[in-house]
Structure 1
Amino acid sequence: MPFTRILVLVVGVVAVAMGLLWVGQGLGYVHWPAKGNFMLDQREWAVKGALLALLGVIAIWWSRRR
């Protein structure tokens, strides 16, 4: 697997993880790293997180295709 595909795979996995964290924070399910975080219970961060996770899934798909 060429270096570029490995890099895109790693970036995709990180994007999915970060996107899901943002969705959890935006919907108020995840109160990490702090209770006073500006992202908590803000629906716009749930939408941004969902888009980031989707881009991560696309990056993973691209890196795994032949």
Structure 2
Amino acid sequence: MSRRLRMVIGGLLVGIGLLWTLQGLGVVGGSVMSGVTLWAVIGPVVAVLGLSLALSGRHHT
């Protein structure tokens, strides 16, 4: 996988993870995911995986 692709996918995963976290915590409403604790747990996991992927793309030689 190319460096740029890793960084783009990683960035998208970080954004999705943050959104899911905020929905799970009830900060962002208007979804069936809003206020559901499961998404407050899954969101940070996805965000950390995305950050890891983006950083691996940044430091990949």
The alignment's TM-score, normalised by the length of structure 2, stands at: 0.90
Residue equivalent to 2:32: 38
- Identity, % of aligned pairs? 38
Shift of 1:56: 0.6
Q: Is the partner of 1:64 in helix, strand or coil?
A: helix
What does the per-residue CA deviation read over 1:13-38, in whole Å, with 9 as the maximum and x for residues that have no partner? Answer: 0000010000000000012xxx2x21
Provide the aligned length of Structure 1 versus Structure 2.
Answer: 60
Shift of 1:60: 1.1
Residue equivalent to 2:24: 26
Residue equivalent to 1:4: 2
Work out which of the two has the higher radius of gyration on C-alpha atoms and give 1 or 2: 1
Greater share of residues in helix: 2
Residue equivalent to 1:15: 13
The alignment's TM-score, normalised by the length of structure 1, stands at: 0.84
Shift of 1:61: 1.0
What does the per-residue CA deviation read over 1:35-66, in whole Å, with 9 as the maximum and x for residues that have no partner? Answer: 2x210101100111111000011011101114
Structure 1 stretches of 4+ moved >6 Å: none
RMSD (CA atoms): 1.2
CA–CA distance in structure 1, aligned partners of residues 3 and 58 of structure 2: 8
In the alignment, structure 2 segments of 5+ residues that lack a partner are none
